């Protein structure tokens, strides 16, 4: 364990040494300047340092844990765990859909939660989908987007992965919106909160194990690939899968792998 901590610490130190701000191209190079502005990543050196640390954490801890989970846990149990975790998150989705004025979707989420919490045995079995109530998720970052709040520059958060100021603030708000967190705090069981987050992390990584591995192997620049996919995915989620005029099909039905430890709904959304 001490050796593992030392290796993680070394990765963090290297990351800190790499931190800096990207320098914009000169004004007399309009093409490069336009590309720089389109990337919207002025903190790229610092973001890459954090990505380097995240990749090390994934290699040393996250990936092995999810690999053992996949190997030792029967698929039906894995599916039950995923269903239960998704069901517990439903109240947060419900609140955000109400805040966005998506009342029809909010009603569907409410009915799903009732069905799966009862007939589905605390959400372990997804009875609601079989009864025609599709699953979907919303978070406060999406709510802020529907209210017209700009995403801001790209951010790579330690352990949490790709984000931006709007979505990072949204994650904090969602934490306080979550009745599970309030219940565990009231019961003086904060460990249950961290336990659920850890289980969500392992569940997400296990479900995307092969896809993430293939993506990392095939990407010339894994960081840039994640940055691009994250923005596409978030844009698609904010539009609920609708396409821009003149664009191709939305990507809401795709599991675009984004290694967010505490917010796997970014990849698991299905509308």
Instruction: Identify the pLDDT of residue 142.
Output: 97
Tens-place pLDDT, residues 61-113: 999 999 999 999 999 999 999 999 999 999 999 999 999 999 999 999 999 99
3-state helix, strand, coil in the chain (%, to 5): 65, 0, 30
The sign of the torsion formed by the CA atoms of 245, 249, 252, 254 equals negative
| Tens-digit pLDDT profile for residues 212-225 | 899 999 999 999 99
The pTM (predicted TM-score) of the whole model is 0.79
**Interatomic CA distance for residues 199 and 262, integer angstroms:** 9
Which pLDDT score, from 0 to 100, does residue 32 have? 52
Give the strand pairing for 161-163 and 155-157. antiparallel
Cα separation, 24 vs 20, in Å, equals 13
- Per-residue model confidence as pLDDT tens digits over 231-251: 999 999 998 866 444 443 333
If DSSP codes are grouped into helix, strand and coil, which group holds residue 163? strand
Dig out the tokens for 33 from the structure.
């300047």
Q: For 26-66, write each residue's pLDDT tens digit.
A: 555 555 555 656 678 999 999 999 999 999 999 999 999 99
- The answer to whether 257 and 225 have CB atoms below 8 angstroms apart is no
């Amino acid at each position: 364990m001490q050796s593992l901590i030392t290796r993680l610490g070394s990765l963090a130190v290297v990351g800190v040494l790499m931190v800096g701000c990207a320098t914009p191209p000169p004004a007399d190079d309009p093409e490069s300047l336009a590309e720089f502005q389109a990337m919207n990543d002025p903190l790229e050196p610092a973001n890459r340092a954090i990505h380097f640390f995240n990749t090390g954490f994934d290699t040393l801890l996250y990936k092995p844990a999810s690999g053992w989970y996949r190997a030792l846990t029967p698929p039906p149990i894995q599916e039950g765990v995923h269903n239960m975790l998704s069901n517990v998150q439903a109240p947060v989705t419900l609140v955000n859909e109400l805040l966005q004025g998506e009342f029809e979707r909010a009603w569907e989420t409410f009915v799903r939660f009732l069905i799966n919490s009862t007939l589905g045995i605390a959400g372990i079995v997804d009875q609601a989908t079989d009864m025609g109530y599709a699953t979907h998720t919303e978070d406060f970052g999406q709510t802020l987007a529907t209210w017209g709040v700009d995403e801001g520059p790209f951010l790579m958060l330690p352990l949490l992965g790709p984000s931006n100021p709007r979505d990072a603030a949204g994650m904090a708000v969602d934490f306080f919106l979550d009745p599970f967190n309030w219940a565990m705090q009231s019961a003086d069981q904060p460990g249950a909160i961290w336990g659920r987050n850890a289980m969500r992390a392992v569940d997400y990584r296990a479900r995307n194990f092969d896809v993430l591995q293939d993506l990392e192997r095939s990407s010339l620049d894994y960081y840039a690939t994640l940055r691009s996919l994250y923005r596409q995915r978030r844009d698609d989620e904010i539009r609920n899968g609708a396409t821009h005029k003149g664009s191709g099909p939305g990507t809401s039905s795709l599991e675009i792998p984004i290694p967010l430890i505490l917010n796997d709904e970014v990849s698991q959304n299905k509308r």
